[in-house]
Amino acid sequence: MAAVKRKDPALYTLTAGSIAGAIEATITYPTEFVKTQLQLQDGTKGAARKGVPAPKGPIDILVTTVRTQGVSAVYRGLSAMVIGNTAKAGVRFFAFDQFKDLLKDSEGKTTGARSVLAGLGAGMTEALLVVTPSETIKTKLIHDGNLAKPQYKGLVHGVQSIVKAEGLGGIYRGVVPVMARQGANSAVRFGVYSTLNDFVKSRLEPGSKMPATYTFGIGAIAGIITVYTTMPLDVVKTKMQGLNARQLYSGVFDCGWKVFKNEGVLSFWSGATPRLARLSMSGGIVFSIYESTMTVLRRIDDDSNPIRT
């Protein structure tokens, strides 16, 4: 008897990635909130002398926010992040899998360099389809919460207000730096992860399963390397998505130049500490949950569709 046809594995990739993204966003969101607050501060040289509060550090921002606004305040914008991260991670893993298949060599293998290219393609795909609108909305919601009289009453009202004031282009603010950042993020993360994953697997006993702690550790290392190599793109992206970006910057390069001129080169790594905390955890959480979910889905498929000869 012919073997039962299996489900499209691409569906597994999309599902596992989406689940991993939703869980990761919920767990790590406070670090994303603090990172965004750091990047939205006025870091202009001499700002404090002009009556503008001096830039604060990540711990001070977190403690002050909780003390003055309550714990729930550090989850402002979470709904946009979870929705966006769920779709983003699903698209990312799905797109990476598709690009990787296209880039396989004649022996059906994907080299480290080709994994980087596949990651670049996946990152730019997710940026265009999901990340730019979700990140723009999240950033504006966080920025709005800093105002004496916030204008957005929640996610839905915020989106409606942004679109009404700026059109659909308002939720695609900063699309160029987002595509650059996500492309670089995924290229570095998937490149490092694939290389380390293959290296570790080659050292394991044939047929043995990689421990979850190994997967988490490899993902965390990939996240750490990703932070420092792509941080400048993340800073420009956040600046371009702030409430007053249209008045401050004429474009991506103008934004980058003004940040450099007014705030100094180190400002391009503003928010690196909370982003490091998030992406190191994120890398470990996402890849661990993704691999575990894929294992469960394959087992369910094996049980429901036994192969018969």
Whether pLDDT at 220 is above 80? yes
Q: Percent of the chain beyond pLDDT 90?
A: 4
The whole-number pLDDT of residue 55 equals 53
Whether pLDDT at 309 is above 70? no
Q: Which amino acid is at 110?
A: T
Q: Which of 95, 131, 128 has its CA nearest to residue 14? A: 95
> pTM for the whole thing?
0.62
Whether pLDDT at 19 is above 90? yes
4: confidence class by pLDDT, cuts 50, 70, 90: very low
The whole-number pLDDT of residue 39 equals 74
190 by DSSP, 3-state: which? helix
Q: Which of 32-36, 162-166, 249-253, 301-305 has the lowest mean pLDDT?
A: 301-305
In this structure, what token pair is assigned to residue 268? 């391009």
The whole-number pLDDT of residue 42 equals 64
Whether pLDDT at 6 is above 50? no
Mean pLDDT for all residues in the chain: 81
Q: Which of 88, 43, 8, 17 has its CA nearest to residue 239? A: 43
Whether pLDDT at 49 is above 70? no
Pick the residue with more confidence: 18 or 144? 18
Summarize the confidence of residues 201-219 as an average pLDDT.
Answer: 84
Whether pLDDT at 240 is above 70? yes
106: DSSP letter? T
Whether pLDDT at 230 is above 90? no
Left, alpha or beta for 162 (phi > 0: left; psi -120 to 50: alpha)? Answer: alpha
At 77-128, the pLDDT tens digits run 788 788 888 988 899 889 888 898 888 877 777 777 788 888 888 888 988 8
In this structure, what token pair is assigned to residue 192? 């490092």
d(CA 186, CA 93): 10
3: confidence class by pLDDT, cuts 50, 70, 90: very low
Q: Which of 302, 232, 241, 240 has its CA nearest to residue 266? A: 232
Whether pLDDT at 255 is above 80? yes
The whole-number pLDDT of residue 257 equals 93
d(CA 230, CA 30): 20
Q: Which of 183, 179, 174, 176 has its CA nearest to residue 123? A: 183
Q: Which of 30-44, 75-89, 158-172, 203-217 has the lowest mean pLDDT?
A: 30-44
Whether pLDDT at 38 is above 90? no
The whole-number pLDDT of residue 44 equals 53
